[in-house]
Structure 1
Amino acid sequence: ESDKDRRWVETRAQPKPDSQSSPLTGTAPAQVDAGDPLALFDYDRKVKDSQASTAEPIGQEITLDGPDGSLGVPAPIQGTIIQFSVEVGDEIRIGQELLIMEAMKMEHVIKSEISGRVVKLNVLDGDVIVEGHPLLYVQEVEGLGAQEQIDDSIDLDFVRPDLQEVYDRHAYTLDENRPDAVAKRTGRGYRMPRENIAQLVDEGTFKEYGPLVVARQHDRLTDEELRKNTPADGLVSGIGSVNGKYFSPDRSRAMVLSYDYTVLAGTQGGRNHYKQDRMFELAERFKIPLVFFTEGGGGRPGDDYTGPRVAFDTHTFTQFSQLSGWVPLVGVTNGRCFAGNTALLACCDVIIATEGSTIAMGGPAMVESGGLGVYTPEELGPMSFQVPNGVVDILVKDEVEAVEVAKKYLSYFQGPIDEWEVNDQRKLRHIVPENRMRLYNMREIIETIADVGSVLEIREKFGVGVITSFIRIEGKPMGVIANNPHHIAGAIDSDGADKGARFIQLCDAFDIPILSLMDCPGMMVGPDVESTALVRHCVRMFNAGANLTTPMFLNVVRKAYGLGVQAMCGASSFQGFFTVAWPTAEFAGMAIEGAVKLGYRKELEAIEDAEERLAEYQRRVDDAYNNAKAVNASAGYGIDDVIDPADTRSWIVMGLNSIPATPVRTEKKYPYIDTW
């Protein structure tokens, strides 16, 4: 249909020929042939050429009065007539379809609001009309009533073709339609990403973002090949509920991302970076905790690019790092994790890895291309050294356990739970031997104080002189730092200080109170430990503890000596909300034997008889130990009480119940959580 075949029906004003009509005057706008790409510009030129004439249009009021007392049916919108459904002489009823109009590429069905007989059609197919113009005239006829209601009920289970197309497109992403990928994955003893996500989130709550995205490799693959071989561009991402049976919806919401190793080895393509940018931005805006399964091979070299480019203009890593300290970041890996995937994993607050994992900043190809030798992937970052060196926080057997640990870890940041069970606290009276030289198990103390089954230890095999764990007390989450007497008697070394300081910072960033269980003979000393930069490392715990805003509860189990114990309590016994000691506790500025030797050197040198000198030395040592006993040392104050160990938990409960509610945070407490 060409422009010359159309009419422009104007009712409110009649503009001068060749001048542009305006909707503001009630007239239809000028119409051009939409099929001609230059028609708009030709019209613009004609209008400008004819603007010498500026005569004002003469207005004309709309009327709906028709011939022989009939009534006009007004156009409810401005648009084009594309089809009539009635003819002159037809009897029509209220609700009956009269015609169809098109406006802004949408078709509008115009129905009658009166019953009667059509006496005149006032417009033709193709006419462009304004709102209010009479479309046709109807002579009202009494007794016709409304149009009979036709039973047009539909089968609500019927799937229309357009919806079926959507289902079919999503089907490419489902495991049941990827048998080869699933077989290869399960053949290695691993699970598919969607299996892990299904275990992590509460049933029916996960909504996936970007499942229909494919890899940006259109130069080498057809659309069908991309859908089949690169579903979701190798990154499953979405939002769901985790631990919903314990927490309200606002506390259980969580974002989940998982690289898919069955898609291009879990590499980082342009579009899965694009998806991550979207998800990370949502996590930041709406403060959503994030769980990230990071198995994959790093950057992907095979995507389509046009023209030259630099290789590090990806915003993904910046966005993810900016989430640190704002929302909990839980990293989980299995199998091979290299390069960019590793970088994202390492930015997480916690790294949970399976025994079959290998984690490295560079994969075999990168190592070989650097002239550094040839290695298998499993030789580059095995758990045999990535666990004891502190890279991995929690080592688990397999993906099933990894998911369960991730859920447990996240729960401490989701808040208190209502149901809990307490151990018999009387057991605490007997864990530490009366013989001050005899070892005991600090972890047994932690397990006994905590709610049953609530302990999750972090970095167990690294910095082993300091124990860091999450626990619950009457359902409320807490962090624990404790000395481990089985490693250098609980003294602080560089690794232990790093471990303790980072854990303190992590707890403080998310307002989790901290319990410090102290049995520390001081800082570790000697040239070997000094060579590890102990001077700098050990005071990290001073700075972390002294600047806490979350409450710290202090309990001296046995030794409280010198700078070492100060590192365990924020540098002062009164930094905590309370400081209590068990009967087995003892206090000194340094090792008591050394203090006697240094403090009474002149007196001992004045005794010429060796046996007498030794006896005097031992007497002074015994006196010093007696004075160091908690029940005696507390006479000078410095701690709040010496307590029955069985009362430790009740002190903690008092502390938790006495601190004010945590304010809703609108900004970070820390710029980021130290990755080390």
Structure 2
Amino acid sequence: MTVLQDSDAAAAGAADPSGDTRSRVAELHDIREQVVAGPSERATEAQHAKGKLTARERIALLLDEGSFNEVEPLRRHRASGFGLENKKPYTDGVITGWGTVHGRTVFVYAHDFRIFGGALGEAHATKIHKIMDMAIAAGAPLISLNDGAGARIQEGVTALAGYGGIFQRNTRASGVIPQISVMLGPCAGGAAYSPALTDFVFMVRETSQMFITGPDVVQAVTGEQVSQNGLGGADVHAEVSGVCHFAYDDEESCLEEVRYLLSLLPANNREMPPAQVTEDPASRRCEDLLDLVPADGNRPYDMRAVIESLVDEGEYLEIHERWATNVIVALARMDGQVVGIVANQPQALAGVLDINASEKAARFVQMCDAFNIPILTLLDVPGFLPGVDQEHGGIIRHGAKLLYAYCNATVPRISLILRKAYGGAYIVMDSRSVGADLSYAWPTNEIAVMGAEGAANVIFRRQIAAADDPEAMRQRMVKEYKAELMHPYYAAERGLVDDVIDPAETREVLIRSLHMLRTKHADLPQRKHGNPPQ
């Protein structure tokens, strides 16, 4: 059914304005029912058969009930030829609009795979451009529910130009509003660059894939045989490439976690993250920390247990949980206020920094700084990972990314040294010398250029070699070096640590410090933008 447009209909309306208006309103409701129903029951059944929800079902799960306001539901493409002239469905394969999550406004667009496989054409892209512009203007988060087959081949270069407009807006919105990409189907070719430009990427196992060139092209060019999931599935991007921040088994769990993430983020870079009332006392002692972290620097422990003890109700959201596991980045609350946590993980590679861990932490620090989230850094780091692969892979350049991110951050920054903090890794992990507002340490801390064993072998090499009992001499020199330069109060005596604190009092000390720093104001030098290491 189409809207009345001919002159006879107009004349009839002039003759009977009341009846014409009612008939047109009735016809409008019929059209809207068609829009909501989608192209056909068969197309919906095919979507469900793949284990996937429809675009409107996904929006209903993401947003608060009844809050969705659709924009341009009646939009159709203007293309002709190649069979498109007889296929002009409403929405043109993408649903756009705004609604609320936990009562806060968000903007959303969702590819409808039932229409042209969710492929992007000119009208499709224009709708996305509009909703992105609205999100930027309103200062509200933007969520994309991606399930599309790439550019619409029948529309040629105009479809490709549509992607360029999306990328430009992704970049303009970066650091201004939170951008979240939820991958719920295929995303191939240039289309994959839009999620890569956003702040967070969610994926669902088995049903979502991302790659620049598909398995067929890979096999033709390199001879390698790989499935779509093996090339660009959720687990690959969550564990190997680091493209995906979160991976889930089903769409319902995925979208629920998107809602949780939004509860920890501000609407835009001019606001603070939403606070919540907590029943977890700020003065709660963490007695478990006294036994949790071994004083012996060579014994591993789970840093996640430390985080659970410190944060409200032991609840936090770990980001990039399965990639670069030697460093943990997470969002949590302390006394109801959101805080970003960067922590070495002694259970993985002894908590050293390597290429991937440096990139992971640097991106997180930049995100926190962009959205006014204070940063808490928990140090237990023996240094950077040595090796030819690391050096040739650019550990200098990648480690500098983390250093740049911390030095550039103006949000409140607190560091806590639990145990080891050696060499350049100590400096990079938000030491006082690179601008941490406050630096605390536990009595188990060891801050030095390197471990005592290595230091003694370098400094006292000749004495050890000339001794009658070299091993006894070496042990004596190690003990002497520790006593002189690595005792728990050495850095505090020189003002590089603000205080050495009782581990059981850590939560209370950190919360008091965060409250004091809440009004911190720091300006960077005026410039167009920095030139961070790449």
* Structure-1 residue corresponding to 2:96: 237
* Structure-1 residue corresponding to 2:129: 277
Measured against aligned partners, the alpha-carbon deviations of 1:589-611 in whole angstroms (never above 9, x if no partner) come to: 1121111111112322332x1x2
For the 8 Å contact 1:554–1:580, the answer to whether it is kept is yes
* Structure-2 residue corresponding to 1:132: none
**Could you tell me how far apart the structure 2 residues matched to 1:284 and 1:673 are?**
24
**Could you tell me how far apart the structure 1 residues matched to 2:194 and 2:332 are?**
27
The residue type equivalent to 2:181 in the other structure is G
Per the TM alignment, residue 560 of structure 1 is displaced from its structure 2 partner at its CA by 1.1
* Structure-2 residue corresponding to 1:603: 463
Q: 2:421 aligns with which of 551, 555, 560?
A: 560
* Structure-2 residue corresponding to 1:446: 307
**Could you tell me how far apart the structure 1 residues matched to 2:344 and 2:80 are?**
58
| 1:194 aligned onto 2:67 | no
Measured against aligned partners, the alpha-carbon deviations of 1:259-308 in whole angstroms (never above 9, x if no partner) come to: 111211111111110101111221222222101111211101124x7xx9
Q: 1:168 aligns with which of 1, 15, 30?
A: 30
For the 8 Å contact 1:502–1:674, the answer to whether it is kept is no
| 1:386 aligned onto 2:237 | yes
For the 8 Å contact 2:427–2:434, the answer to whether it is kept is no
- Which secondary structure does the structure 2 equivalent of 1:469 belong to? strand
User: Gapped runs of 5+ residues in structure 2?
Assistant: 1-6, 8-12, 267-272
The residue type equivalent to 1:237 in the other structure is T
* Structure-2 residue corresponding to 1:10: none
Per the TM alignment, residue 435 of structure 1 is displaced from its structure 2 partner at its CA by 3.5
Structure 1 residues 416 and 474, CA, compared in 2 at 3 Å: closer, same or farther?
farther
In the TM superposition, what are the counterparts of 1:589-628 in structure 2 within 5 Å? 589-607=449-467, 609=468, 611=469, 613-627=470-484, 628=486
Measured against aligned partners, the alpha-carbon deviations of 1:299-348 in whole angstroms (never above 9, x if no partner) come to: 01124x7xx97954752321222211111100111232212432211111
Measured against aligned partners, the alpha-carbon deviations of 1:42-78 in whole angstroms (never above 9, x if no partner) come to: xxxxxxxxxxxxxxxxxxxxxxxxxxxxxxxxxxxxx
Q: 1:343 aligns with which of 183, 188, 193?
A: 193
Q: 1:651 aligns with which of 496, 503, 509?
A: 509
Structure 1 residues 263 and 176, CA, compared in 2 at 3 Å: closer, same or farther?
closer
In the TM superposition, what are the counterparts of 1:54-203 in structure 2 within 5 Å? 160-175=22-37, 178-203=40-65
- Which secondary structure does the structure 1 equivalent of 2:456 belong to? helix
Structure 1 residues 573 and 583, CA, compared in 2 at 3 Å: closer, same or farther?
farther
Q: How many residues align?
A: 505
| 1:326 aligned onto 2:166 | no
**Could you tell me how far apart the structure 2 residues matched to 1:365 and 1:614 are?**
61
Point out the more displaced range, 232-241 or 216-225. 216-225
**Could you tell me how far apart the structure 1 residues matched to 2:44 and 2:77 are?**
19
- Which secondary structure does the structure 1 equivalent of 2:312 belong to? coil
Measured against aligned partners, the alpha-carbon deviations of 1:469-489 in whole angstroms (never above 9, x if no partner) come to: 111111211111100112221
For the 8 Å contact 1:358–1:377, the answer to whether it is kept is yes
Structure 1 residues 371 and 452, CA, compared in 2 at 3 Å: closer, same or farther?
same
In the TM superposition, what are the counterparts of 1:286-365 in structure 2 within 5 Å? 286-303=138-155, 311-312=160-161, 314-356=164-206, 357-363=208-214
The residue type equivalent to 1:625 in the other structure is K
**Could you tell me how far apart the structure 2 residues matched to 1:298 and 1:675 are?**
31
**Could you tell me how far apart the structure 1 residues matched to 2:361 and 2:428 are?**
9
**Could you tell me how far apart the structure 2 residues matched to 1:411 and 1:265 are?**
32
For the 8 Å contact 1:349–1:673, the answer to whether it is kept is no
* Structure-1 residue corresponding to 2:270: none
Measured against aligned partners, the alpha-carbon deviations of 1:478-526 in whole angstroms (never above 9, x if no partner) come to: 1111001122211111111111111111111111110000001112223
Per the TM alignment, residue 661 of structure 1 is displaced from its structure 2 partner at its CA by 4.1
User: Gapped runs of 5+ residues in structure 1?
Assistant: 1-34, 36-104, 110-153, 245-251
For the 8 Å contact 1:494–1:534, the answer to whether it is kept is yes
The residue type equivalent to 2:476 in the other structure is R
For the 8 Å contact 1:553–1:577, the answer to whether it is kept is yes
Q: 1:492 aligns with which of 342, 353, 363?
A: 353
For the 8 Å contact 2:121–2:159, the answer to whether it is kept is no
The residue type equivalent to 1:325 in the other structure is G
**Could you tell me how far apart the structure 1 residues matched to 2:145 and 2:139 are?**
19
- Which secondary structure does the structure 2 equivalent of 1:190 belong to? coil
* Structure-2 residue corresponding to 1:639: 497
**Could you tell me how far apart the structure 2 residues matched to 1:646 and 1:274 are?**
56
**Could you tell me how far apart the structure 2 residues matched to 1:269 and 1:385 are?**
29
* Structure-2 residue corresponding to 1:253: 105
* Structure-1 residue corresponding to 2:269: none
The residue type equivalent to 1:382 in the other structure is G
For the 8 Å contact 1:574–1:639, the answer to whether it is kept is no
**Could you tell me how far apart the structure 2 residues matched to 1:299 and 1:537 are?**
34
**Could you tell me how far apart the structure 2 residues matched to 1:262 and 1:292 are?**
17
Per the TM alignment, residue 585 of structure 1 is displaced from its structure 2 partner at its CA by 1.4
Structure 1 residues 409 and 674, CA, compared in 2 at 3 Å: closer, same or farther?
farther
**Could you tell me how far apart the structure 1 residues matched to 2:222 and 2:386 are?**
41
**Could you tell me how far apart the structure 2 residues matched to 1:373 and 1:296 are?**
25
**Could you tell me how far apart the structure 1 residues matched to 2:247 and 2:168 are?**
28
Structure 1 residues 487 and 662, CA, compared in 2 at 3 Å: closer, same or farther?
same
Highest RCO, 1 vs 2 (Cα 8 Å, sep ≥ 6) = 2
Structure 1 residues 210 and 439, CA, compared in 2 at 3 Å: closer, same or farther?
same
**Could you tell me how far apart the structure 1 residues matched to 2:22 and 2:496 are?**
77
Structure 1 residues 558 and 606, CA, compared in 2 at 3 Å: closer, same or farther?
same
The residue type equivalent to 2:496 in the other structure is G
Two-structure CA RMSD over aligned residues (Å):
3.2
* Structure-1 residue corresponding to 2:10: none
**Higher Cα radius of gyration:** 1
* Structure-2 residue corresponding to 1:143: none
The residue type equivalent to 2:480 in the other structure is D
Structure 1 residues 651 and 593, CA, compared in 2 at 3 Å: closer, same or farther?
same
**Could you tell me how far apart the structure 2 residues matched to 1:339 and 1:273 are?**
16
For the 8 Å contact 2:412–2:520, the answer to whether it is kept is no
Per the TM alignment, residue 382 of structure 1 is displaced from its structure 2 partner at its CA by 2.2
Relative to total residues, which structure has the larger helix share, 1 or 2?
Answer: 2
Per the TM alignment, residue 631 of structure 1 is displaced from its structure 2 partner at its CA by 4.1
- Which secondary structure does the structure 2 equivalent of 1:467 belong to? strand
**Could you tell me how far apart the structure 2 residues matched to 1:408 and 1:675 are?**
32
* Structure-1 residue corresponding to 2:3: none
Per the TM alignment, residue 217 of structure 1 is displaced from its structure 2 partner at its CA by 4.3
For the 8 Å contact 1:579–1:639, the answer to whether it is kept is yes
Measured against aligned partners, the alpha-carbon deviations of 1:541-598 in whole angstroms (never above 9, x if no partner) come to: 11111121111111011101111111111x5457222111112211211121111111
Per the TM alignment, residue 392 of structure 1 is displaced from its structure 2 partner at its CA by 0.8
**Could you tell me how far apart the structure 1 residues matched to 2:420 and 2:53 are?**
48
